[in-house]
Amino acid sequence: MIKDINKLLFLDIETVGIEEDLDSLHVEFPHLSKMWDETGYDYCKRRYPNEDLYSNEMFIKKAALLPEFGKIVCASVGFIVPNGEIKLDSFVGEEKEILGNLCELFNRVDKLGFRICGHNIKNFDLPYIGKKMLVHGITLPKILPTYNDKPWETRVVDTKEVWGFNSYIGLSSLDLICASLGIKSPKSGDLKGDLLHQFYYSEKRDMDKIREYCENDVTATIKLVKHIT
């Protein structure tokens, strides 16, 4: 179903709001604070109509999903080597450093004929990475899809699309697909995606735990691909 899985770079990112709350955003990025008031909050209210939250609460809960108001705190990658073994690596730290490391890796695997693989990466991870690279003045790697690429020209395998069999309806979360296929859930720990922002900005922040959480998603995606190939 998916050809040449040894030429796939599996990818997942973890994101949080660019600041802890709106007070901090106003101090550190007053221009973004103004744009949150004018556009970000209204967008989130429309996008998540069941979330009846005040502006600051919405920022804490949803800013991580918007690259204009969020930042990448961890990026994990994985490979399947020819003997079937899984190799993982992660980049954590400052966003610009993470993106620089990803850019170098993307350029290396591009020359080796790899494709990028992940769950919902066409709609989230890759656009997020691309926008943040532009923000930080990083030259976009050629393997990263851009607006003028034709669908059949992109070197991306999105397992959400693979599972959908060209359908855009139905349930397709990574956790649910893994449960359906008998694969251990990547969300089995106590750290959850909607709590990551609070965890990152709390005194209990543990980057090793965030790294593990991110790598679990990569491992689950690799097992999904191996199962259906």
Find the domain containing 175 and state its range. Answer: 5-18+69-228
**Distance separating alpha carbons of residues 118 and 65, to the nearest angstrom:** 17
- Contact of 119 with 2, CB cutoff 8 Å: no
Examine residue 163 and state whether it is found in any structural domain, yes or no: yes
pLDDT digits (tens, 9 = 90+) for 83-114: 989 999 999 999 999 999 999 999 999 999 99
pLDDT digits (tens, 9 = 90+) for 180-221: 999 988 877 778 888 999 999 998 899 999 999 999 999 999
| 3-state SS, residue 108 | helix
Examine residue 103 and state whether it is found in any structural domain, yes or no: yes
Q: Sheet holding 70-80: strands in order across?
A: 86-92, 70-80, 8-17, 115-118, 156-158
Examine residue 52 and state whether it is found in any structural domain, yes or no: no
Examine residue 31 and state whether it is found in any structural domain, yes or no: no
The overall average pLDDT reported for the chain is 94
Sign for the CA dihedral angle at 42, 46, 48, 50 comes to positive
